[in-house]
Amino acid sequence: MIVNDQPYGSERPYNALRLASALSKREQAEVRVFLMGDGVACAVAGQNLPDGHYHLDRMITGLLRRARVGCCGTCLDARGLSEDQLVDGARRSTLEELTEWTLWADTTLTF
């Protein structure tokens, strides 16, 4: 699954992570999520949001128990983000790894 959108500008990242979480609970599914573009900000730890609002960083933390999450390194750099700002388990990745994941996958979804 590839997530491109900024965390709270639309509900695309929220819906992508909801679907990834649901899929990851299925025994026959192995889920990998790649955050790129503004989507890398979804994995920034400690997001401060109003009460009652969903927290994408917490959703990713829960997802990491059953899935892999990679963040585009070039996209992190372009936004002044470092790997130590990400939730534990989300990691800096590369376009080469995304290429490998895409070739590996039976289905690729883009949000």
> How do residues 75-95 score in pLDDT, each as one tens digit?
999 999 999 999 999 999 999
CA 104, 96, 2, 56 dihedral sign is positive
Q: What is the pLDDT of residues 13-72, one digit of tens each?
A: 999 999 999 999 999 999 999 999 999 999 999 999 988 899 999 999 999 999 999 999
- Mention every residue, 6+ apart, whose C-beta is less than 8 A from residue 18: 59
Looking at residue 87, what DSSP letter applies? P
